[in-house]
Structure 1
Amino acid sequence: MSLKARFIALSVVLVLSVAMFSLFFVQAYHSRFPFLQRIFYGHAGTAAVSGEHANADYSPYPGLKASDTQPDGHYYRNRVLVLMYHDVSPSPTDVHSLSVRNFERQLQLMKDNNFHWITMSQYREFILHDRPVPENAVLLTFDDGYESFYKYAYPLLEKYRAPATSFLIVDTVGNPKMHGVEKLNWDQVKEMHRGGIDFFSHTFNLHYYAPTDARGKHPEPALSSRLYLKDKGRRETENEYEARVDADLQQANAVLKQELGEDNHVLAFPYGAFSEPLLQICRKRGIDVTLTVKSGLNKPGQTNGFRLNAGGMSNDPELQLALMKQAEQRLGHAHFDRSPAYKRFAIAFLVVAAATFAVWIYVGSALFRQRGTKNG
């Protein structure tokens, strides 16, 4: 191959490698540059590409307006929108608490606009075996096992005949040593379970943030992170982390089995945080469906699922419904953070570009000298 042909080929490789590096760099670091996110992802960028630690408080509703009632509305098919709630209160004082009035308004709007509530059993069959679900399918979920679920949410669920799932921090159920917001007791749980409410694990007692280094300045969710062991002056090893998490999930499953007589196959991750080792532990324990706090629509095979936050004092039921009607357009392309993979690809193409550039300079210099010799 002549020097000229080599130079042209290297130029093409150089341009392509720089282009690929730029593409993966943007994919990996768009969240650090808001203008890049706006350019490449538009208004839906935050919902579509944010990482596992997504902000669960989905408010505001950009560009949304309340719409007319559509009793025969068709919004999405072969997908499930999972809604996430926490506390429900007549007079909320916490930003994450939803008023009873707004919760009932949500239920009425969903019913009036042709949304169809499904059970967790239906959801699992849909995710794991591609079993059909109604169009505009919605799964209602409640985290943390607050007593307010029994006092305020459950009566409304019964009124509207809406199935729901509650994720319990198992160690807090009926535990007088637990302080803070009142939690459910087992009598309440069993009564609601007989009434058709499903209960699954939100861990046994790993629903908290803890230090991951000696300075304690960067606490992480205890379920998904290797924690700092103060007595040993170091961070957990991978084996220690996996043993701790496995023991917690096993204990939660055992208690749920003892109290409710059913195996636990579903886990909602505290704060939505997860890791690959954690997913492997879940599979080992027979937990085949997990849920995060990231907004999106769920499709068959998506065993680690998205949830749209529908609670909080800032919730607007009419705008919430408008978002649900546009779920396919606004949330249907969501995915979990792929930044680590994109960073590896970016580095690989940077190395290729650098090596190609060095050879390109060498061949270009030789070609320049060759032409100089001919002209001389």
Structure 2
Amino acid sequence: MLKKYNFKNKSLLIFIATFLVCVLSGYSIYKNILPKVESKNISKALDEYESGNDSKINNSNIEKKRTFDESTLTNDNRGVPVLYYHSVRDSNHNEVTISPQKLKNELKYLKDQGYVTLTLSELSDYLLNNSPIPEKSIVITFDDGYMDNYQNAFPILKELDMKATIFCITSDLDGEYYLSKDAIKEMSDYGVDIQSHTVNHSELNKLSYDEQLKQLKESKKTLESITGKSVFSIAYPYGKYNKDSIKAAKAAGYSLAFTTDRGLADRDDSPLELNRIYINSNYTMATFKQILSTTKK
């Protein structure tokens, strides 16, 4: 009887010891691993809250760096021509409205001449991070964000395999006169940069600092909620801006801003006062070529 009793006690002690080990191991896992997971989730939530973007910027949408032919690269401060267009449709009534065929002719000329169209991220890396770019680099931009940019310019960009940026007004994304949200999303997913042109296309230099900051923040938030990508660049409407505009652009989270002053975007410019080259729809091809070849920093 004594031997049987001792055997039972020994079995009970082994069971209790095993149970305690399991409990302690579980507690250790809970203590060391779960808080880390929760911490990551909290950190992510805080980042999303602070960005003011309820739709969450998807890191998978971050632009992947292209690999260029090293033999064509340069890292000097020659500057980059940044062309800017507006509406793209058949019309003879407005110098800011270019026909699709004329736009295609100009973009095809650039491609045939060996120009490489940069994204704004690539331009930013060149200007701010001293990254090399192809010797014949150029940036194509469209101001205002008209629906005809989607209907007429987008197919041309796809056909010629060229990069471009559209600076959008966000007050009325109706899909009729201005771009629809679906069109913005589709172009952004394809690789067209979608950036800010403020909410109402106001002359910023006539607004208070707080009003300017609101214009810049709200347009940025709206576009980021549609594309899921970071909006880090703005084109000042009418080219109108002042010191408050630059201050507000920094505060709103922009790293690049474009004027309407003719010149090349180069490293000597303030990154929030970059030059561009206006393309008038009345230019002949000869004028287009001349402006492209003679515009300096």
- The match for 1:190 among 179, 185, 207 is 185
Correspondences of 1:195-274 after superposition (within 5 Å):
195-205=190-200, 207-208=201-202, 221=203, 223-226=204-207, 241-274=208-241
Q: Does structure 1 residue 316 correspond to structure 2 residue 284?
A: yes
Question: 1:134 Cα shift?
Answer: 1.1
Query: How far apart, in 1, do the equivalents of 2:80 and 2:225 lie?
Result: 30
Q: Is the 8 A contact 1:296 1:308 kept in 2?
A: yes
Query: How far apart, in 2, do the equivalents of 1:276 and 1:81 lie?
Result: 24
Q: Is the 8 A contact 2:164 2:193 kept in 1?
A: yes
Query: How far apart, in 2, do the equivalents of 1:247 and 1:322 lie?
Result: 40
Change (3 A) 1:92 1:77: farther
Q: Is the 8 A contact 1:84 1:311 kept in 2?
A: no
Change (3 A) 1:112 1:187: same
Aligned to 2:254: 287
Aligned to 1:148: 148
Question: 1:266 Cα shift?
Answer: 0.4
RMSD after superposition: 2.0
Question: 1:301 Cα shift?
Answer: 5.0
Amino acid of the structure 1 residue aligned with 2:294: Q
- The match for 2:276 among 299, 307, 310 is 307
Long gaps (5+) in structure 1: 1-71, 176-180, 209-220, 227-240, 333-376
Question: 1:86 Cα shift?
Answer: 0.2
CA deviations over 1:278-337 (Å, ceiling 9, x no partner): 10111111111000111101112521111101142x12123212321233xxx32xxxxx
Q: Is the 8 A contact 2:77 2:267 kept in 1?
A: no
Query: How far apart, in 1, do the equivalents of 2:209 and 2:96 lie?
Result: 31
Long gaps (5+) in structure 2: 1-71
Question: 1:168 Cα shift?
Answer: 0.5
Aligned to 2:42: none
Amino acid of the structure 1 residue aligned with 2:199: F
CA deviations over 1:73-112 (Å, ceiling 9, x no partner): x9x9732000000011133432221111211110111112
Query: How far apart, in 1, do the equivalents of 2:135 and 2:128 lie?
Result: 18
Q: Does structure 1 residue 123 correspond to structure 2 residue 91?
A: no
What percentage of residue pairs aligned between the two structures are identical?
25
Query: How far apart, in 2, do the equivalents of 1:200 and 1:113 lie?
Result: 27
Amino acid of the structure 1 residue aligned with 2:153: A
Query: How far apart, in 2, do the equivalents of 1:257 and 1:190 lie?
Result: 10
Aligned to 1:296: 263
Quick one: higher RCO (CA 8 Å, sep 6+), 1 or 2? 1
Question: 1:242 Cα shift?
Answer: 1.1
List structure 1 segments (4+ residues) > 2 angstroms apart after TM superposition. Answer: 90-93
CA deviations over 1:144-179 (Å, ceiling 9, x no partner): 01011011111001111110000000112127xxxx
Q: Is the 8 A contact 1:77 1:135 kept in 2?
A: no
Query: How far apart, in 1, do the equivalents of 2:216 and 2:91 lie?
Result: 34
Q: Is the 8 A contact 1:102 1:316 kept in 2?
A: no
TM-score (norm 1): 0.56
TM-score (norm 2): 0.70
Query: How far apart, in 1, do the equivalents of 2:132 and 2:206 lie?
Result: 36
Query: How far apart, in 1, do the equivalents of 2:216 and 2:77 lie?
Result: 34
Question: 1:254 Cα shift?
Answer: 1.4
Q: Is the 8 A contact 1:88 1:99 kept in 2?
A: yes
Aligned to 1:112: 112
Moved more, 196-205 or 301-310: 301-310
Q: Is the 8 A contact 1:130 1:301 kept in 2?
A: no
Say which one has the larger Rg. 2
Query: How far apart, in 2, do the equivalents of 1:130 and 1:246 lie?
Result: 29
Q: Is the 8 A contact 1:128 1:301 kept in 2?
A: no
Secondary structure of the residue aligned to 1:155 is helix
Q: Is the 8 A contact 1:203 1:249 kept in 2?
A: yes
